[in-house]
Amino acid sequence: MSDRPYHHGNLRRALLDSAVELIAERGPASLSLREVARRAGVSHAAPAHHFADKTGLLTAVAAEGWRLLTAALADRAATADFGELGVSYVVFATSHPAHFAVMRTPGLVHPDDPELVAARDGAGTLLYRGAGVPGEDAGRPAASSGRGRVLAAWSLVHGLAVLLQEGLVAPGPGEDIETLARAVTAQLAPA
């Protein structure tokens, strides 16, 4: 148990912040509720008041990540072309590595959690709209709809984000992540 008092102004926020810090340091697989509680300065039982278990906490981290991604995409959606949405995705992923790690790792979250589904759908809506694809195309076969374009773009920027996070790719001399992402997303434009 911690020397700090149990009461927080916002215990849920403190637990989420502690989880994100620990994930950034050690990865999502090694996260424990006890360590999150210790980092937040509360008893080991405190997380149960907001999250039933580790999966519940990771689901909340993923939902928060999807909301942050949606906000990043929305900042550019009104004024940018489709490629710039991809740049936003890569910048988000590399500036929020803990959230991104949880969002992209299967089996860590409750995939049908309503908060998570709504947050994920918010980002998807912006991506489809940015590609000029009607939202109803999301469930159609990629070959017969604009879904293929969205999936190709997402695959490209997601792959770049993962390569950057894993240290397999780095910006070149005089280049930052945004410039590199812009050069990669330019490959989506018709030749």
pLDDT tens for residues 134-190?
A: 655 555 565 656 778 788 888 999 999 999 999 999 999 999 999 999 999 998 776
Task: Based on the fold, state whether residues 47 and 102 are members of the same structural domain.
Answer: no
pLDDT of amino acid 1: 42
Strands (E), 87-147: none
Tell me, what CATH number does 38's domain have?
1.10.10
24 and 106 together in one domain: no
Instruction: Give dist(CA 17, CA 59) in Å, integer.
Output: 14
Assess whether pLDDT exceeds 70 at residue 88. Answer: yes
16/78 same-domain check: no
Please say if the pLDDT value at position 76 is more than 60.
yes
Average pLDDT, the chain: 87
Query: Is 27 a member of any domain?
Result: yes
Please indicate, yes or no, whether residues 167 and 86 belong to a single structural domain of this protein: yes
pTM: 0.87
39-49 pLDDT tens trace: 999 988 888 88
**Helix spans in 112-190 (H):** 114-130, 147-165, 177-185
Q: How confident is the model at residue 132 (pLDDT cuts 50, 70, 90)?
A: confident
Helices (runs of H) and strands (runs of E) counted in the chain: 8, 0
Residue 59 resides in a domain: no
39 lies in which domain range? 8-51
Same domain assignment for residues 32 and 80: no
Q: How far apart are CA 86 and CA 81, in angstroms?
A: 9
Q: Is the same domain home to 171 and 103?
A: yes
23 within some domain: yes
**Higher per-residue confidence, 190 vs 14:** 14
Terminal CA-to-CA distance of the chain, rounded, Å?
Answer: 61
Q: How many domains does the chain have?
A: 2
Residue keyed to tokens 């009461």: 7
Asked whether residue 81 falls in the same domain as residue 155, the answer is yes
Residue 44 sits in the same domain as residue 136: no
Greater model confidence, 132 or 18: 18
Confidence band of 2 (pLDDT split at 50, 70, 90): very low
Give domain status of residue 97, yes or no. Answer: yes
Is 82 inside a domain boundary? yes
Q: What is the pLDDT of residue 67?
A: 97
Binning the chain into helix, strand and coil, the percentages to the nearest 5 are 70, 0, 30
> Quick check: 78 pLDDT over 90?
no
